Amino acid sequence: MRGRMTLNPIKHLDPVGFILCALAGFGWAKPVPIDPYNFKNYRRGLFFTAIAGVITNYIIAFFGYMLYVVVALYFPTAGTGLYYFGYFFECLFRNLFVFNLGVFIFNLLPLYPLDGFRVVESLTRGVNPVQRFLRTYGQYILIILVVESFLCGILEDYTNLPYVRYFDVLGYVQWFAINILGYPIRAFWNFIFGVPLPVISVY
């Protein structure tokens, strides 16, 4: 009915979210519309619908890191005509890995309207005080965290005060995503290709 059953990204763009993503590095797409009355089992249907997107992010990160290792190992090195071509794809696949892990953990934060809130909703009985609080104030907490992280990034870049990063709450979330949740992916593919495990920093 809304024309959203398509892989065409234009159909899923939210104008404000897209502009903020381009200018501030954070944005959003149109939410996926669902009709929970179509679920045979409401809680189970809500749970699997909530985690479908983040599981996709983790799968993309899994194969993105594989492509990153392949390009890093087998594309031409400095001094060849194709160096910048290979470097572009190395950065592309590295960012594909990093950003999808970041989105994976970010969307699992239990704050409305993120998928993590839907997971909490599916695992708890009825409307309880915690669920009510997360639904009422979740989006405001989310905005505060995003703005705080954005300001920390600006302060660190323009004031040369490295300790500012320690106040970046979402920075810790990103670090956890890359270094903890991403470790099995990195360990697996580095073992397959027989190369040492590099450290991927988010700063």
Number of Cα atoms under 13 Å in the Cβ half of residue 195: 14
| pLDDT attached to residue 77 | 64
| pLDDT attached to residue 203 | 44
Model confidence at 201: pLDDT above 60:
no
| pLDDT attached to residue 152 | 87
Query: Whole-model pTM?
Result: 0.84
Query: Which tens digits make up the pLDDT trace of 43-97?
Result: 899 999 999 989 999 999 999 999 999 998 888 666 667 778 888 898 999 999 9
Listed in sequence order, the residues at least 6 apart from 16 whose beta carbon sits closer than 8 Å to its beta carbon are 27
Query: Which tens digits make up the pLDDT trace of 1-34?
Result: 888 888 898 888 888 888 877 776 667 788 777 8
Query: Which tens digits make up the pLDDT trace of 112-162?
Result: 888 999 999 888 877 788 888 988 999 899 889 888 888 888 888 788 777
Give the C-alpha separation, 12 to 102, whole Å. 20
**So where are the chain's domains?**
1-33, 46-193
| pLDDT attached to residue 166 | 84
Closest to 54 (Cα-Cα) out of 181, 203, 200: 181
Q: What is the CA radius of gyration of the chain?
A: 19
